[in-house]
Structure 1
């Protein structure tokens, strides 16, 4: 049977770097919920499918910040405790909500067993195993998740090198592709990617005017961009609709406050929480199969249309945040498993991005405009009027950072010695990268814990300004004393981060 076409599933995993001992709605709770309810079941699902002899199932983007947290001993202990707490919360509801408590006990138990069997030494061994088995392709990205178009070229290149180096250190090889933070792009960045050894990157479909059937060389480079097919992706989740909003699925926003569990199904978009019907796993399981078949039908129809219009085999790329599956959409991992089993039966080849490119699904060069995957598909989320202060602060951070590293004091030479690492300079770079994270602007623009985002941005930027000033003046002991007074006495997130790599000529 001639294949209908090629389907690429791309999942992007990212959470902000969280302050230790944080609490809801920010802090470690974000990490542990996503870890327990998305990363554990999604990767277990891919491993189960791989054990059936299936390969090239998905392309996984893991940001360096999240990779660091998944390997961190403190976070590993914390999520194990959180899993135990989840089980206890299920038991506490047994007298009032016996059916829900039984379901949550089973799910929490499965998550705990998965963690104890595969994750006790961190996320990197899990990801390596899936990659080495041929089940997934891994994507990298720049350190600390900056919106790259707003970075000065020198800082942007350093951040990308640092992120790719971190990926190689943890996962045993540099990635050929990246999911750029927020899919942010400015003309000319393909040259940065080529210099860093990046061969392909993701953009949102509108950047290609919806022409996402093939990977495309960018400009005169041999770096390929791959477009997210919104016609297919939005069938699952869009700004207005998608499968997770179906009446049968568990409602994310309705809580049993004594236990912290979610007892209701969606029921209806305008149904108030107190009138929502009880969650039924059996009803949800039937909806999973229905929606998996609908998605496969959608993908097949799209690929046939593309083949008819282009006269050649085509691909469709469905790309999502990993946290959609399991965390936001409780049944999401089961839906993924059903789709990845049904697609080959429908004549669709499932490939990683690298696999699709190796199959020759590459078109003509394209000139990309400024773009992102945010509202309007432009830069307004990260550089709009609501965050003009953050943009100005980010520029100040870069100025302070480079001024310190480039300081040459009369009679004393450059601040950085080429033969010795400087822990103060390394910490300065680390704090600057976190001040430049795109997360802060996103949270402010979308009014999601905006006060927390502004506070974190200001904290990191203030530390950069302090350290930069003291180091430019040669007051190293004063800088060390100042760091000791910081509330968390931070260590660099990436142990290999070396300020010498950012020093000027």
Structure 2
């Protein structure tokens, strides 16, 4: 058997903020159910079918604790089941006007309904645990509610990570050794916090290592490894100007048949207005999947050949994406993903996970990382530039840290305070404001959680526990039942 030219790691990051019980349309629960039906179900189906063929070490799959909580929650499970049923009805209603679109959506909704009822009725955790136990994926963890960690106070940062790792242990039976650092955010010194928490590896963006992404790199003398995203490979897919999802034959995400809410058009052209776009053609899209999968495999192989020539030994390339790209944003993404994972080994490329890359010795020299992220500018501007939310987050942390610990037993009120603070500190709110994506919803959510923190902290300082208990009972449901504020050590 010919030795592989190099190694490819695909990392998928699955994340949504806590949306259950916080509005329905156009964001809120609708966002959760769309992503679940269009991305999580088909992507996991691809991985399960490949695993059933005996394929191992396919991807590193991150599911943030706050998303995992929603994918296991009985309320959300009922909600997505109803949503898929509604999708099927919308396909039937559209069939009289748009028969080909109606038939395509009927098949897609029927498949999703069958997958959900056969595999997901008891939540995501049994499904994910099965993939992990089969050796098909490496499951990644992370901080509880996906905060931008570099801007947190160290005690809050450690608490958020400990809470997230504990959640993964409860759901999956083991503590992940690898994490997706939210937004790939890094500040010098965080590697030591990772080591203290038992984290052995994490993701950064390529510019954090000045583009030298060919190997995992120990950070300082911590022993913790940074895996850097190879932008030359990743942007072949995820480039707003030239990425595959913008190809003319793929389904257009932004064009709607408004009576049904379905998407009837193909991209056609980047400058073509919605009313002039051509109808979606599944056969043309399938041919585009085959063409673009072959192109990506060629890109990966060529990249690894050049790295081998540069370093004199087989090297690594890491492509990392949001899971929601595959199916939700890019309708054909799951089919493309399956085609790529099947074709890479035949092209002489080893496919593995970050854990597998370490086993194969793909570790380079130690590196000192600068402050960084995978956002605009590769710095912190997305999350540090929204001044009102930065000030709000500072206030939330101050209030959280100001409430003294009680006795040795858990205090449900202090636990509730900690949970509400974690929700307020989600990185999503600043991102949505900066990108002007449902900015009003994001600001409302951040301020609502912060107001609850302020109110509860004030009641606890005043020793008004009965009033505090009454207020907490009135709050919307929380994602976690295990947040233990005793782990917060100022």
Give TM-score scaled by structure 1 length.
Answer: 0.96
- More displaced, 131-140 or 23-32? 23-32
| 1:63 paired residue number | 64
8 Å contact from structure 1 (residues 15, 31) kept in 2: yes
8 Å contact from structure 1 (residues 6, 303) kept in 2: yes
- Counterpart-to-counterpart distance in 1, 2:168 and 2:307: 35
- Counterpart-to-counterpart distance in 2, 1:279 and 1:227: 37
- Counterpart-to-counterpart distance in 1, 2:489 and 2:352: 41
Cα deviation, residue 205, structure 1:
0.4
Query: SS where residue 236 of structure 1 aligns?
Result: coil
| 2:458 paired residue number | 469
1:348 is the counterpart of 2:349: yes
Structure 2, unmatched stretches of 5+, are none
- CA deviation vs aligned residue, 1:429-481 (integer Å, no higher than 9, x gap): 00011111111100111111111111111111111111111101111112223
Query: SS where residue 214 of structure 2 aligns?
Result: coil
Cα deviation, residue 423, structure 1:
1.1
Query: SS where residue 93 of structure 1 aligns?
Result: helix
Cα deviation, residue 120, structure 1:
0.3
Query: SS where residue 62 of structure 2 aligns?
Result: strand
RMSD: 1.0
1:158 is the counterpart of 2:186: no
Alignment of 1:22-61 (within 5 A): 22-61=23-62
| 1:494 paired residue number | 480
- Counterpart-to-counterpart distance in 1, 2:111 and 2:281: 19
Give TM-score scaled by structure 2 length.
Answer: 0.98
| 1:416 paired residue number | 406
1:430 is the counterpart of 2:416: no
Cα deviation, residue 14, structure 1:
0.2
- More displaced, 270-279 or 12-21? 12-21
| 1:390 paired residue number | 389
| 1:255 paired residue number | 256
Alignment of 1:315-330 (within 5 A): 315-330=316-331
Cα deviation, residue 312, structure 1:
1.1
8 Å contact from structure 1 (residues 426, 492) kept in 2: no
- Counterpart-to-counterpart distance in 2, 1:141 and 1:75: 22
Cα deviation, residue 2, structure 1:
2.1
| 2:377 paired residue number | 376
Cα deviation, residue 240, structure 1:
2.2
| 2:445 paired residue number | 456
- Counterpart-to-counterpart distance in 1, 2:63 and 2:157: 19
8 Å contact from structure 1 (residues 416, 503) kept in 2: no
Cα deviation, residue 389, structure 1:
1.1
- Counterpart-to-counterpart distance in 2, 1:2 and 1:165: 40
- Counterpart-to-counterpart distance in 2, 1:330 and 1:139: 25
How many residues in Structure 1 have an aligned counterpart in Structure 2?
Answer: 489
Query: SS where residue 235 of structure 1 aligns?
Result: coil
- Counterpart-to-counterpart distance in 1, 2:368 and 2:110: 50
1:442 is the counterpart of 2:431: yes
Alignment of 1:87-102 (within 5 A): 87-102=88-103
8 Å contact from structure 2 (residues 416, 472) kept in 1: no
Cα deviation, residue 18, structure 1:
1.0
8 Å contact from structure 2 (residues 21, 477) kept in 1: no
Cα deviation, residue 503, structure 1:
4.6
Query: SS where residue 300 of structure 2 aligns?
Result: helix
